[in-house]
Structure 1
C-alpha cells in the first residue's frame, strides 16, 4: 500500500545564487585572513603616514594658525564659543563654505591613531579568535547528532526566501572580504604583493565595497520583511535557551520554525548590526551631504566595530548552518529538509506541518498526517 505522499513535493530547482559553493568556505577564508593578522605588529595596521606626529602636535599648529589669523578665536563667554572652537581649523568666517576651506582638522590624527592602533588590534584579535574557538568547539563537542534519513522531504523555504537569503549572504561576503582588505591590506598584502599589484587590489576593493554596500542595504531590508513574521519570540524559546539549544548535550530541543538562536541572530545580527552598518555606511559612502569630518570619523569607529561583531557572529551562524548542523545547509540550498531532520531540530514546526496548521506551508506541501505505513502486502 502506497504511503500518502500527496502533500510532498519533489525537490525544487535550486536558485542560481544557492548553487555557488562559496558560503561554506567563508569561515576558512576569514580564518586565513585572521591568521595573517596574528603575523603582523598591531602598530603596522592601517593607512599611510602611521608615523605622523600625535594629535597634540597638530593642535599646536592649529593654534599657531589661529593666532596669526585675522579672525580671532571666540572667547569662553562668546556665543560662538564651543561651536566655533570645535571646528576652527580654517581661515575665514565660520560656516561660510562648510569644510571647503579646512586646512587642518583637529580630530584627524586622533582618528588615525585610534583606528590604526587599539581599534585595529582589538578587531584583529576578535577576527582571529572566533574561527579558532569555532574549530576548538567542533573538535571538542562535534556537530549535532544526525538522525537517519527517511527519504521523505518537507518544504521549508520558498524560492523567494532562498533568493533573498543568498543575495544578502553573498553581498555580505563581498563586503566582509573587501572591508578586511581595506582595513588590513597595507600590512598583510602590500609586503608580498608590491605596490603596483596591491594598489589595484585596494582600488578594486574600495569600489566594490562602496557599490555593494547599498545593494546589501536593500537585501537586508528584504531579508527583514521576508522573515519577520517567523522571528517573534514566544514562551517555547525560553526552554530552548535554558538547554543551550542542545549544542553541547546534542539533545534535540523542541523548536518552532526558527529556534531562539536563529531569532537572536535575526534581531541582533541582521536587524541591529545591519542597521548600524547601513547608517554608518551611508554616512561614509556619500560624503556630499554636509556631514563634517568629525561625523564621518565617529561613523568609521562604529562601522569598524559593527563590522567586526557582524563578521564574528556570521561565522558562528555559518558554522551552525553547515558543519555544525548536518542538513541545515541543504534546507536553504534546496528548500526542503528530510522528515527526520524536521522532527529532530524543529519538532514544534514539524507537528504544525503534520497537522496542517503551519502558516504558509500547507499549500506547498507538508508531511503525511499519519505515520508512514510499514512495508507489507497491499490490502
Structure 2
C-alpha cells in the first residue's frame, strides 16, 4: 500500500508538472491554477505514505533490508554488467541491488524536490538561495526522476509476477528461486527454525 499510494502521488506530480512545463500540453489542459495546486500538494504529501508505513513492523523490516548493501549485492551488480542471468550469478535477498539503489536514489531525489519546491512556494524561506537556483535544480531533477521512473515502470511491466506479488503478497517458488534465491533460502531457514522451536515446546 505504501508503494502504491506513493506511486500514484509521484505520477500525479509528474503529470501536473508536464501540464505546467510543456507549452502545448499546458494550452491543451488549461486550468493552470488548479494544476499548480495539485502539483504542490501531491508533492508535499509524498512522504505521508512512508511515514504512515513506519507504523507497520513489516514495512520497517523491509526498510532495514533496503538499507543494507551486502557482498551478494555487489555480486548481483557484477552479474548484471556481465549479462549473467542464472540465480547463482545473481544472488538477491528480498530486494536486489538494483532495487536498493533505486530506493535510495528516489528517496534522496524526493527530499531535494520537496526542499526546492518549498523554496519556490515560499520565496522568503531562505533569502540567501535565489529562486532561479531553486527552479534550475528542481527542473533538472524533475527530468532525471521522469527518466528513472519510466525505467522503473518498464522493468515492472516486463515482470508480471513481480506486479502480482506487489498486489497480493504472494509469488511462486520458481519465481523466487530465479530472482530472489537468497531471500527464499532465508525464508526456508526461518520456517525450519520456527518448526524446531515448536517441536521443542511440544
| Aligned ranges 1:1-379 → 2 under 5 Å | 163-184=1-22, 186-190=23-27, 193=28, 198-200=29-31, 202-221=32-51, 226=60, 227-231=62-66, 232-244=68-80, 248-252=83-87, 253-269=90-106, 271-287=107-123, 289=125, 291=127, 295-323=130-158, 325-356=159-190
Q: Structure 1 residue 351: deviation in Å?
A: 0.6
TM-score (norm 2): 0.81
Q: Structure 1 residue 221: deviation in Å?
A: 5.0
TM-score (norm 1): 0.45
Q: Contact between 2:20 and 2:26, CA under 8 Å: does it hold in 1?
A: no
Cα distance change on mapping 1:169 and 1:223 into 2, 3 Å: farther
Q: Name the SS for the 1:243 alignment partner.
A: helix
Which has the greater radius of gyration?
1
**Whose relative contact order is higher, 1 or 2, with alpha carbons under 8 Å and at least 6 apart?**
1
Cα distance change on mapping 1:272 and 1:296 into 2, 3 Å: same
* 1:36-58 Cα deviation digits (max 9, x unpaired): xxxxxxxxxxxxxxxxxxxxxxx
Q: Contact between 1:237 and 1:255, CA under 8 Å: does it hold in 2?
A: yes
Q: Structure 1 residue 223: deviation in Å?
A: 6.5
Structure (1 or 2) with the greater helix fraction: 2
- Partners of 1:228 and 1:302 lie apart in 2 by 28
* 1:311-356 Cα deviation digits (max 9, x unpaired): 2111111222222x23111111111111111111100000111111
Q: Any unmatched runs of 5+ in structure 1?
A: 1-162, 364-379
- Partners of 2:52 and 2:136 lie apart in 1 by 27
